[in-house]
Structure 1
Amino acid sequence: MNHEQSRALYDRALSVLPGGVNSSVRATRPYPFFVEKGDGGHVIDADGNRYIDFVLGYGPLLLGHSLPEQVQSAIQQHAAEGPMYGAPTEVEVELAEFVTRHVPSVEMLRFVNSGTEATVSAVRLARGYTGRDKIVVMQSGYHGAQESTLVEGEGDHTAPSSPGIPESFAEHTLTVPFNDEEAAHEVFEEHGDDIAAALTEPILGNYGIVHPVEGYHETLRELCDDHGSLLIFDEVITGFRVGGLQCAQGAFGIDPDITTFGKIVGGGFPVGAIGGKSEIIEQFTPAGDVFQSGTFSGHPVTMAAGLETLRYAAEHDVYSHVNELGDRLRSGLQDILRDQAPEYTVVGRDSMFKVIFTRDGPDSFDGHCEAGCRQQESCPRFDYCPKNGGDVKQAETERWERLFWPAMKDRGVFLTANQFESQFICDAHTGEDIENALEAYKEAI
C-alpha cells in the first residue's frame, strides 16, 4: 500500500498538534493513515487505500458510515434550521423519551457532550446525593479522561496515573480488580460508610474485552444496597450495542442507580448522557443543587442523529444482523486459533470482538465457550481467560501492536491500534467482509 499522502499529512500535523493527533490512541507506528471518507462498513484513506473498518469511530457507528435516508434527512434538517440555540428543543425530549422507554433503570436523563463529561457528572452526582466522597472503580477500568478515575494502585493505596492530577483526588478513589468478589467485599467492609458509589463497566471495553464472571455484578449491587452506596454502570461503550435497546444492564438483569451513555446514543456525533432513577437525576441543577451545565448539551443535530439511529435499529432488526456477524466472526477466529495459536483468547459479545494474545492456555479448544469467552466455569479455559485488566496487560501487547496490527492494516483491515481497545461490527458490514477479515487474520496470526 502507498501511504505518501498520509505521511505528508502527519508531517504537517506534528507541527500543530501534540504527537500529530487529537487523541492518543490514534498515534499508530510509524504514523497513522489519514481517513478521507467512510463508505458503508469501510474507510478510504488519503492515498485511496480501502479498509474494512472494525474501529467505527471507537464504537459510535452502529449503522456504519453510509447513514440510512431517515437518519441523514434528520441530521440535514436540523443542521439547516440553525446550528444551535442555547434553548431547549423538542428532539432532545424525544430522544430522552426513547431511552427511558427502553432502558429498564433509566427514568430521567441529562444530556452532555462526551463520555468523559458523563462520568465526571455521574461521580459528582453520586457524591452530592449521598454526601460521601469515596468511589470504588475497577483496576484498569476506563471512565474517560477525568481526575477521579485516572488512578493506579490497589484498594486505598492509590495514586494519580497521569501527571497534572493532585494526589488528593486519588485519596478518594478505591480500586478493586474486576471480577474479584472478595476484594469488593473487603473494600466495602473497610470503607462502606464513606463510599458514594461503585463505578464499573458492565463489560470491560477499554482493557481488552473482559466479560463478568457469574454473580459479580449481583455482588456489587448487593454491596451498594447494604452500605447505602450507588451502583453506576458506565455504558458509554456497551450502551445500545450489547443487549440491544435495553443495553448491557438489560442483558445481565441488573438495575444500576445511575448509567452513563455516549457513542451510539449520539449517532456518531459528540454526546454523553447520565441516566437513572428520577429522585437521583433530579439532584442536578436546576431541579436540585448538584451543579451541571453545558453550552452544547442536547445539541439538536446530535439529538436527531441519536434518535433516528436508535429508531432505525429498532425498526430494521439491526441487532440480529450485527450480532449474527459477531458470532460468525468470533467463531471463525476460534477456528483459526485452534490451528495456529491455541494459547490466544477470543473475547467479545454481540457486535464487540477482539483476540487477546494471552501467553498461557490449553492446547485444545474442546469444550470452550462458543463465539468468545463468557467466563463459564465449565469451560476448560476458564482459569486461563483474562478476568481483569491486569490479566490482559500480561498478554503479548507489544507483538499485537508492533507486528499484528500493521500486518492486518496491510491486508486491508482497520483494527483498533492496541491490544486493549474494543473492536466493533456495524449494520453495513456483510458476510463477505467477515470472510475477508478471517482470511486476513489467518495470514497475520
Structure 2
Amino acid sequence: MRHDESRALYDRALSVLAGGVNSSVRATQPYPFFVERGDGAHVIDADGNRYIDYVMGYGPLLYGHDAPEPVQAAVQKHAAAGPMYGAPTEIEVEHAEFVARHVPSVEMLRFVNSGTEATVSAVRLARATTGRDKIVVMQGGYHGAQESTLVEGGPEGASPSTPGIPSSFAEHTIPVPFNDAEAVREVFEAHGQDIAAVLAEPILANMGIVHPVDGYLQTLRDVTEEYGSLLIFDEVITGFRVGGLQCAQGKFGVTPDLTTFGKIIGGGFPVGAIGGKAELVEQFTPGGNVFQSGTFSGHPVTMAAGHEYLKYAAENDVYDHVNRLGEKLRSGISDILEDQAPEYTVVGTDSMFKTIFTRHGPADRDDLCESGCEQRESCARFDYCPKTGADVSKAETDRWERVFWQEMKDRGVFLTANQFESQFVSYAHTDEDIEETLEAYKEAL
C-alpha cells in the first residue's frame, strides 16, 4: 500500500495540531492514515486504500458508515430546520422516553455532549446527593478526561496519572482492582461512610475488554446499598452494544443507581447522557441544586440520529446480526490461536472483540470459552485470563501495536491502534468480511 497522501497530511497536521491529531489514540506509528470516507463496513484513506473497519469510530457506529435510511432522513430533516435553538425540542423528549422504556436503571435523563461530561456530571451528582466526597473506581477503567478518575495507584493511595491535575483531586479517589470483591469490601470497611459512589464499567472496555467474574457486579451492588453509596455504571461503550437495548446492566441483571451513556446513544454524533432514578437525576438544576448545563446539550440533530438509531434496532434484527458475526469472529480467532499462539486470549462479547497477547497459558485449550473469555471457573485457562487492568498491561502490548497492528493494516484490516481499546462489529459487516479478516489473522499472527 502507498501512503503518500496520508504522510503529507500528517506533515501538515504536525504544524497546526498538537501531535498532529485531535485524540491521542489516533497517533499510530510511524504516522496515521487519513480517512477520506466511509463505505458500509469499510473506510477508504486519502491514498485510496480500502480497509475493513473494526474501529467503528471507537464504538458509536452500530450500523457502520451508512446509517439506515430513517436515520439519514431524520438527520437531514433536523439539520435543514435549523441546527440548534437554545430552547427545548420535542425530539429530546421522545429520545429520553425511548431510553427510559428500555434501560432498567433509567427513569429520568439529562443529555450532555460527551461521555466525559456524563461521568463528570454523575460524580458531581453522587457527591451532592450523598454529602460525601470519595469515589471508588476500577484500576484500568476509563471514564473520560476528568480530574476525578485520571488517577493511578491502589486503595492505599492514589496520585494523578497525568500532569496538570492537583494531587488533592486524587485524594478523593480510591482505585481498586477490577474483579477483586475482597478489595472492595476492605475499602468500604475502612472508608464506607465517606464513599459517595462506586464508578465502574460493567465490562472493562478500554483495557483490552475484561469480563466480570461471576457475582462481581452484584457485589458492587450489595456493598453500595449496605453503606448508602451509589452504584454508577459507565456504559459509554457497552450501552446499546452489549445486552441490546437493555445494555450491559440488563445482560448481567444488576441495576445501578446511575448510568452514563455516550457513543451509540447519539447515532454517531457527539453525545453523552446521565440516566437513573428520578429522585437522583431531578437534583440537577433547574429542578434541584446540583449545577449542570451545556449549550449543545440535547442537540436536536444528535437527538434525532440517536432516537432513529435505537428505534431501528428495536424494529429489525440488528443485534442478532452483529452478535452472530461477533461470535463467529471470536470463535474463528480462537481456532487460529489454538494452532499459532495458544497462550493468547480472545476476549469480548456480543459485537465487541479483541485478542490479548497474554504471555502464559496452558497449551491444551479444551473446554475454553470459545467465543470470548467469560471468566468461567471450569475453563482450563481461568487462572491465566486477564481479570484486571494490570493483567492486560502485562501482555505483549508493544508487539500488538508495533507489529500486529501494522501487519493487519497492510492486509486491509483496520483495528484499534493499541492492545487496550475495544473493537466492534457493525450491522454493515458481512460473513465475507469476517472470513477475510480471519485469513488476515492467520497471516499476521
Instruction: Work out the CA distance in 2 between the residues paired with 1:42 and 1:364.
Output: 36
Paired residue type of 1:344: Y
Q: Which residue of 2 aligns with 1:402?
A: 402
Q: Which residue of 2 aligns with 1:219?
A: 219
Q: Which residue of 2 aligns with 1:350?
A: 350
TM-score, normalised relative to structure 1 = 1.00
Instruction: Work out the CA distance in 2 between the residues paired with 1:20 and 1:156.
Output: 38
**Contact 1:92/1:303 (8 A) holds in 2:** yes
Task: State whether structure 2 residue 324 is matched by structure 1 residue 324.
Answer: yes
List per-residue Cα deviations over 1:200-223 (Å, max 9, x = no partner).
Answer: 000000011000000101111010
Matches within 5 A, 1:30-429: 30-429=30-429
Instruction: Work out the CA distance in 1 between the residues paired with 2:302 and 2:435.
Output: 34
Paired residue type of 1:115: G
List per-residue Cα deviations over 1:395-434 (Å, max 9, x = no partner).
Answer: 0000000000000000000000000000000000000000
Q: What's the CA shift for 1:316?
A: 1.0
**Contact 1:53/1:414 (8 A) holds in 2:** yes
Q: Secondary structure at the match of 2:152?
A: strand
Instruction: Work out the CA distance in 2 between the residues paired with 1:143 and 1:364.
Output: 37
- The alignment of Structure 1 onto Structure 2 pairs a total of residues equal to 445
Q: What's the CA shift for 1:83?
A: 1.2
List per-residue Cα deviations over 1:84-143 (Å, max 9, x = no partner).
Answer: 000000001000000000001100000000000000000000000100000000011100
- Could you say what the CA RMSD is over the residues aligned between the two structures, in angstroms? 0.4
Instruction: Work out the CA distance in 2 between the residues paired with 1:223 and 1:48.
Output: 54
**Contact 1:408/1:415 (8 A) holds in 2:** yes
Instruction: Work out the CA distance in 2 between the residues paired with 1:419 and 1:323.
Output: 22
List per-residue Cα deviations over 1:223-253 (Å, max 9, x = no partner).
Answer: 0000000000000000000000000000000
Q: Secondary structure at the match of 1:191?
A: helix
- Give me the identity figure in percent: 78
Paired residue type of 1:248: A
Q: Secondary structure at the match of 1:440?
A: helix
Q: Which residue of 2 aligns with 1:7?
A: 7
Q: Secondary structure at the match of 1:37?
A: strand
Instruction: Work out the CA distance in 2 between the residues paired with 1:102 and 1:410.
Output: 41
Instruction: Name stretches of at least 5 consecutive residues in structure 1 with no aligned partner.
Output: none
Instruction: Name stretches of at least 5 consecutive residues in structure 2 with no aligned partner.
Output: none
Instruction: Work out the CA distance in 2 between the residues paired with 1:204 and 1:242.
Output: 12
Q: Which residue of 2 aligns with 1:443?
A: 443
TM-score, normalised relative to structure 2 = 1.00
Q: What's the CA shift for 1:156?
A: 3.7
Instruction: Work out the CA distance in 2 between the residues paired with 1:144 and 1:124.
Output: 14
Instruction: Work out the CA distance in 1 between the residues paired with 2:370 and 2:343.
Output: 16
Paired residue type of 1:95: H
Q: Which residue of 1 aligns with 2:19?
A: 19
Instruction: Work out the CA distance in 2 between the residues paired with 1:310 and 1:137.
Output: 29
Paired residue type of 1:170: A
Q: Secondary structure at the match of 1:241?
A: coil
Paired residue type of 2:397: T
List per-residue Cα deviations over 1:307-358 (Å, max 9, x = no partner).
Answer: 0010111111100000000000000000000000000000000000000000
Instruction: Work out the CA distance in 1 between the residues paired with 2:364 and 2:25.
Output: 34
**Contact 1:156/1:173 (8 A) holds in 2:** no
List per-residue Cα deviations over 1:53-87 (Å, max 9, x = no partner).
Answer: 00000000001101111110000000000010000
